[in-house]
Amino acid sequence: MQTHEIRKRFLDHYVKNGHTEVASASLLLDDPNLLFVNAGMVPFVPYFLGQQSAPYSRATSIQKCVRTLDIEEVGITTRHNTFFQMAGNFSFGDYFKREAITFAWTLLTGAQDDGGFGFDPERLWATVYLDDDEAFGIWRDEVGLPAERIQRRGMTDNYWSMGIPGPCGPCSEIFYDRGPAYGSEGGPEADEDRYIEIWNLVFMQNERGEGTSKDDYEILGPLPRKNIDTGMGVERVAFLLQGVENVYETDLLRPVIDRAEELTGRRYGSDAASDVRFRVIADHARTAAMLILDGVNPGNDGRGYVLRRLLRRIVRSARLLGADQPTMRAFMDTVRVAMAPSYPQLETDYDRVRNVAVGEEAAFLGTLASGSKLFEDVARQTRSQGSARIGGADAFTLHDTYGFPIDLTLEMAAEAGLEVDREGFGALMAEQRARAKADAQARKHAHADLTVYRELVDGHPTEFTGFDELNTEATVLALVRDGVRVPTAVAGEEVEVILDRSPLYAEAGGQIADAGVITADGTRLTVNDVQKIAKKLWVHKVSVDRGQVTEGDAVLAQVDSSWRHGATQGHSGTHMVHGALRQVLGPNAVQAGSLNKPGYLRFDFHWQGGLSETTRQEIEDVSNAAVGADHTVNTIETSLDAAKEMGAMALFGENYGDEVRVVEIGGPFSMELCGGTHVAHSSQIGPITVLGESSVGSGVRRIEAFVGTESMKHMARERALLQGVATLLKVPSEDVPGRVENLIDRLKVAEREVEKAKSASLAAAAGPIAESAERVGDVLLVAAKAPGGGGGNELRALAGDVRGRLGDAASVVVLFGDDGGKVPFVVATSGAARDAGLKAGDLVKAFAPAIGGRGGGKPDLAQGAGTDPGGVEAAVAALRAELTDR
């Protein structure tokens, strides 16, 4: 049975039993505790926490999930995936244990011809919590599962919570017995490789307190309503129903392994190490594709860093398997074919997904090339120290600082006849993981308590009137201060005001909140911010300037019209820039985020590589042409499916409702899902001036621009600046670029002449400096100040020249410079001196403290700088003492 069919049967079963089918949420949710959605119940958390009332009493979904705590363990076992699909059914105060158990049993054991999965009931086991006699009795007496196939387990295994204060409860897990060939008899308690968990039924009935592990928290009491949360692992059910050994051999992952075999010439199943690499490629390729699909881009922290690690592990694994050419395009092609039947957006957005992955591969291949050179330096230094073992610290630096994988370090070390201190490397990695874990735990906290808003969300959602008017009569529904309802607020206080109607735009979609006031007889409130709760309730954060405001008051909410005009210009201008980008660069230049406010816009978009000045100018020209065309700005409220059929663009990672608002400007030029405020005609945006374009992460670029009056002010400032430069240069404005270019060329010529003169002066000084050599012990020492000061480059050249003039003698050359109050220095040793045990880097340690400096380098050449020019004589004395005492 194919995975897509398993998904369909699951959903059909629960819809037939009165559940509302809910589409998978994005992998990215606004939750402070989650990097990615990691369980099927996550999108329903507000309902379980009581922050909002569920719009349905029963729901079912197949949620895409990502768990990345142990990325480096992926592939070592065949049970773990970073991306997986969790099929679930949920009850919000409706049914409880009996129905949850019987629904699951019916689907699992129902005949395939009747829409079930057709599992042999004789091979199914169940576990329940230690004292959950109710669940035990349902399994034994109502389902008919023999008591010997129902096992009781403790809190660690069979009691669920989110890891933070909130709902919790016992659970019942369902296991499938794969048979004696896979392990020991005795049920899940004995062997969870033989007995595979396929479903977890959580009976959410209590509230837990603080705690740090799975079994050390206090049960505070029962929840007001009992809920059901279940999760069936789609991939695990798939490998059992498809008769293969593990999830990596199912229809969704095996094709990637097959493609990797073709590209590397190796065969899956040939040896354990290769099999791990094949599984890493299969798992990570799918996960990476799904993360990119939901708007993640490679980066150096957070979600972007996780994606970067996944993509680089694919490249690394393919290389270790023998691939000598880029492979990412082929792997992404294979993932698209396998996953698109369940996730059609992967087909429509595939070019973007592929380009991000391929771009990261290209960047990492460059890293590998530079890392190889760094490895060669480490290997050379290791041998020079008489060792055949690369230190753990060196291996860790290659891995952590330069992104050079430890597997490749090991491979290259073996080829070079060297070993690697794996224990030292492992200890440093363990320290890093411990720091990361502690940081994550420190940032993990209970969900914000929004219960004060629940009654308001459920009963009185705010009506937004700001699309049609700037002044609205309204009623104060509630006042909230520090999470508590208050009856009134007086002058000098700050409070949150919830109105039944409001024209003030709440921050969303990159548009910041409106400025404005709320007034009544003798009362004036300045609106500092407006935010949404549950996308339904407008919360106005205000300062009470005069009078007082009381719950139930009739008030007038007013938008600052000047502010709104500028905000609409900024937001509509963002749509113009997006449309221009797609026209100039093509359909892959899609939005990755935005910010707009009066007179200004910032637009992030997916694109590999910087834009030329010509391209930036073309984007500005196309944007302004659309502004000048005076297009009517049309808004259409329709269904999400209808909007997609119209070709409306959506923001990746955003969760849209069934009903959406489409903003269309110039027909196909710009058509986007957008809830923001806009001008009526494109000409009202005014001129758009692109300020610049830059990188904000791998595969993401940023354009900033002024619009309207701010654009004109900017152009006036630029014109005044140009006129000022023209006046200084005594040329017409149009001749300024040529005149400046001429001056730059002349300056470069002058700088080259100065450098030549300085080099000649230093070269001339090399002879007299070499003649100043003194014998200290059995070594010739030259310790001198460079004539004319000089920086590091000049000192290195001069030190090398002086060392060469001393011939084959054991010699040490130390030169001090003068660079704006700092004391740069260079130490050079001859071959004979190094044979005698003198290393430039070690000598630095002897004299650098005297000038308040430090430095280092290789045995033949070291350099650094100090901060105390007056300490040079003491430094030379320390150096003499070091050479004398050796």
No. of helices (H) and no. of strands (E), the chain: 25, 35
Q: Which of 462, 459, 446 is nearest to 496 (CA)?
A: 462
Residue 575 annotated as part of some ligand binding site:
yes
Q: Please, which residues have CB within 8 angstroms of residue 53's CB and are 6 or more apart in sequence?
A: 47, 454, 457, 458
Please report where in the chains the tokens 């008919």 appear, as a residue: 144
251 dihedral zone (left: phi>0; alpha: psi -120 to 50; beta): alpha
CA distance 69 to 157: 19
Distance (Å) of CA 591 to CA 86, 587, 674, 754: 29, 10, 12, 50
Alpha carbons within 13 A on the beta-carbon side of 33: 14
Distance (Å) of CA 194 to CA 77, 145, 708: 14, 19, 68
Q: What is the DSSP string of 93-130?
A: SS--HHHHHHHHHHHHHS-GGGTS----GGGEEEEEET
Q: Please, which residues have CB within 8 angstroms of residue 392's CB and are 6 or more apart in sequence?
A: 420, 421, 422, 423, 424, 425, 426, 427, 428
CA dihedral 523, 524, 530, 531 (to 10 degrees): -20
Residue 631 annotated as part of some ligand binding site:
no
Residue 674 annotated as part of some ligand binding site:
yes
What does the block give as tokens for 451? 């219960």
CA distance 775 to 15: 94
Q: Are 458 and 92 in contact (CB under 8 A)?
A: no
Q: Which of 484, 477, 417 is nearest to 449 (CA)?
A: 484
A 10 A CB-CB count for 20 gives 15
CA distance 282 to 253: 6
Q: Are 406 and 426 in contact (CB under 8 A)?
A: no
What does the block give as tokens for 480? 């909230």
Alpha helix (H) residue ranges in 772-854: 792-805, 831-835, 840-847
Distance (Å) of CA 647 to CA 302, 347, 395, 587: 32, 15, 51, 12
What does the block give as tokens for 615? 């391209």
Q: Please, which residues have CB within 8 angstroms of residue 638's CB and are 6 or more apart in sequence?
A: 646, 659, 660, 662
Please report where in the chains the tokens 């290393």 appear, as a residue: 839
Q: Distance of alpha carbon 311 from its chain centroid, rounded?
A: 13
In the three-class reduction of DSSP (H, G, I as helix; E, B as strand; rest coil), residue 60 is classed as strand
Pairing relationship of beta strands 58-66 and 20-21 according to DSSP bridges: parallel
Which residues fall in the annotated binding site for Zn(2+)?
571, 575, 674, 678
